Amino acid sequence: MKFNQKASKAIATWIILALFVLIIIPFTFHIGQLLWGIIFLFFIFWIAMLTDCLQRNENDFSLKGNNEKLIWTMVLVFLNVIGAFLYFLLVFVQNTDNT
């Protein structure tokens, strides 16, 4: 069976595309599982910081201002993981250094 040059180039392109897809799909499946694991760890970290904030006394916050607990709770709820990292660095670590 003979193909002209244009047909053989199209067949080669489709074969390369098929091989590319067959290699990429399993690879992205494993990356997807890894990303779900990372998202789950961030979610657990966020819940831990939110729980710590809600259980902490108003006097235990580093800035001793009015409604400090409410402000940090709102930061944690609206900024999610970024708020959790901020809370961890600015409140959680500071309080463990003082005790």
Structural domain total, the chain: 1
The number of C-alpha atoms within 13 Å of 15 and in the hemisphere containing its C-beta is 6
Q: Are 31 and 74 in contact (CB under 8 A)?
A: no
Q: Are 84 and 45 in contact (CB under 8 A)?
A: yes
Residue count of the chain:
99
Whole-number pLDDT of residue 3: 58
Whole-number pLDDT of residue 43: 92
Query: What is the distance between the alpha carbons of residues 57 and 21, in angstroms, rounded to a whole number?
Result: 55
Whole-number pLDDT of residue 13: 81
Q: Are 89 and 76 in contact (CB under 8 A)?
A: no
Whole-number pLDDT of residue 26: 76
- pTM given for the model: 0.68
Q: Are 61 and 69 in contact (CB under 8 A)?
A: yes
Domain with 17, as residue range(s), is 5-98
Whole-number pLDDT of residue 11: 75
Average pLDDT of adjacent 10-residue blocks, the chain of 99 residues: 65 79 75 81 93 89 83 95 92 71
